[in-house]
Structure 1
Amino acid sequence: SNDQVACNEQEVSEQYLTAEVVKVHGVKRKISSLDFEEYEEDIVKHQRITETQTAKPYLHKRTHINDKMRAILVNWLVDVHDKCELSPVTLHMAVAILDRYCEMVDVKRNQLQLVGVTALFVASKYEDKNSPTVQQ
Structure 2
Amino acid sequence: MYASLEDLIERAGDKELRDIADRDRDGAPDAAVIEAALQDADNLVNTYVGAKYPVPLPSTPPIVRTWATSIARYVLHRNGAPEHVETDYKDAIAALKDVARGVATLPVEDGEAAIAATSGTVMAAHPPQVFTPDRLRGWR
TM-score, with normalisation over the residues of structure 1?
0.34
In terms of Rg, which structure is larger?
2
Q: Name the one with the larger strand percent.
A: 1
TM-score, with normalisation over the residues of structure 2?
0.33
Q: Name the one with the larger helix percent.
A: 1
Q: Which one has more relative contact order, counting CA pairs under 8 Å at least 6 apart?
A: 2
